[in-house]
């Protein structure tokens, strides 16, 4: 069976898709009985088609030429961003074509609407590459674990920040680690979308939508890694923890706790070993208990390989005339505000090295219902020194109120650094 593909976007991932289909077409056909053929390609830059040696492929700069071509069975959208990507996907689905995308932005914000379009038009959309690079987490949630009830997801889903934190753990400063990430192609020239946690938040939206059948939240509480210093990483190590940017989703009854922030996790936990640009996703289920998924979170060929796999899966559905929406229903879950969450906390204060300082800070914590689990003052032979306090479980709103009061004390000389602790096994 031959399936014609319309490829929209010939950038890094798109050119990887071309490479894999050209090199592995015979292998794919032997394994599946399906021959993938790139019938048409679209890009704003006409020079790209010549550099990819696509002489047998019809090229256009107008995506409507692909959408309106009745001989194209599957559209692969690799433009990125919200528009025109959303319009391309919606038009393709309405025209009776199936779609593959790696676009986390569109799926996280407009996924529910697009799934409805699939239902109305008996079409499918696949988006495995939108989360976790080459980790088959979307397929796992939709197929392998479709009967499972999940209580929690913990994800390292951004390779840029994980690479930076890994290099900081090796002794580099934040700025040096970021520079190294940029030199190796793991960080953009403007890394803010990654280091501020926004990329992870979009991916968490998709994971929670599939695992909990939840509507996309209007906003996920997000903190980035720019306030983390290599000293914090050293202090965390002394306490038996590592620091990771975690995407966290927890369901309790009809409430959903979604957040992205730097998190201290035990050094012996499986997620702690996920280093450099790799991703790791840890699931807690009612019947499956704990499951860990690990792999490259980005890169041309790892991501392109998953895109091609999605195209093959859609080709099989075309052959079998099997059309099912990615998500068939949505729960009405309340999203828990960040002020209501409970966690243990790490505080790093910069304080005057004089008697009575710890007592003043402890009083503010106690007045706000926060119990201290451990205290460590670092000697630096300076006028001010770092003071580390670990707490027992506390409510976020109490922590915010306490930190605000502590930052006003005359003995505290810098803004307090706060890191949440998750004791993941």
Cβ–Cβ < 8 Å for 339, 400 = yes
- Catalytic-role residue among 203, 230, 284, 336: 203
Rounded to the nearest 10 degrees, how much is the dihedral formed by the CA atoms of 221, 340, 373, 388? 30
Closest of 82, 83, 130 to residue 109, by C-alpha: 82
Catalytic residue at 203?
A: yes
The number of C-alpha atoms within 13 Å of 200 and in the hemisphere containing its C-beta is 35
Structure tokens at 158: 């951004």
Residue 125: Cβ-neighbour burial (10 angstroms; 0-12, 13-18, 19+): buried
Exposure b/e, 234-244, CB count within 10 A at least 16 = b: ebbeebebbbb
Question: What is the rounded CA–CA span in Å between residue 404 and residue 246?
Answer: 24
The maximal CA–CA distance of the chain, rounded, in angstroms, is 80
Strand 125-126 relative to strand 150-156: parallel, antiparallel, unpaired? unpaired
Asked whether the CA dihedral 168, 172, 176, 180 is positive or negative, the reply is: negative
Active-site residues, by number, are: 203
């Amino acid at each position: 069976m031959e399936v014609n593909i319309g490829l929209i976007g010939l950038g890094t991932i798109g050119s990887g898709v071309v490479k894999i289909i050209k090199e592995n077409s015979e292998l794919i056909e032997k394994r599946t009985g399906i021959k993938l053929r790139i019938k048409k390609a679209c890009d704003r830059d006409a020079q790209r088609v010549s550099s990819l040696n696509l002489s047998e492929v019809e090229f256009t700069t107008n995506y409507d030429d692909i959408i309106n071509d009745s001989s194209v069975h599957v559209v692969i959208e690799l433009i990125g961003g919200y528009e025109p990507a959303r319009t391309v996907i919606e038009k393709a689905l309405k025209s009776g074509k199936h779609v593959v995308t790696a676009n986390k932005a569109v799926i996280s914000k407009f996924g529910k609407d697009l799934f409805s379009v699939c239902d109305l038009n008996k079409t499918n959309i696949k988006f495995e590459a939108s989360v976790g690079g080459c980790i088959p987490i979307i397929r796992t949630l939709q197929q392998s674990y479709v009967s499972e009830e999940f209580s929690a997801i913990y994800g390292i889903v951004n390779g840029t920040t994980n690479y930076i934190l890994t290099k900081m753990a090796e002794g580099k400063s934040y700025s040096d680690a970021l520079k190294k990430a940029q030199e190796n192609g793991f960080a953009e020239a403007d890394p803010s979308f990654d280091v501020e946690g926004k990329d992870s938040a979009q991916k968490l939206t998709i994971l929670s939508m599939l695992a909990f059948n939840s509507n996309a939240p209007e906003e996920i509480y997000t903190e980035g890694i720019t306030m983390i210093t290599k000293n914090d990483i050293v202090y965390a190590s002394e306490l038996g923890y590592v620091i990771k940017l975690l995407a966290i989703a927890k369901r309790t009854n009809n409430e959903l706790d979604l957040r992205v922030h730097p998190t201290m996790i035990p050094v012996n936990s499986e997620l702690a070993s996920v280093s450099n640009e790799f991703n790791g996703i840890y699931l807690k289920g009612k019947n499956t208990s704990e499951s860990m998924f690990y792999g490259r979170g980005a890169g041309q060929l790892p991501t392109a390989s998953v895109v091609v796999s999605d195209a093959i899966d859609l080709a099989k559905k075309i052959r079998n005339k099997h059309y099912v929406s990615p998500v068939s229903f949505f729960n009405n879950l309340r999203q828990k505000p960040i002020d209501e969450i409970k966690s243990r906390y790490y505080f790093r204060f910069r304080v005057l090295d004089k008697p009575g300082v710890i007592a003043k800070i402890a009083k503010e914590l106690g007045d706000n219902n926060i119990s201290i689990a451990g205290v460590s003052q670092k000697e630096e032979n300076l006028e001010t020194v770092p003071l580390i306090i670990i707490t027992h479980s506390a409510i976020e709103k109490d922590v915010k109120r306490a930190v605000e009061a502590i930052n006003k004390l005359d003995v505290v000389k810098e803004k307090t650094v706060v890191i949440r602790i998750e004791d993941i096994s």
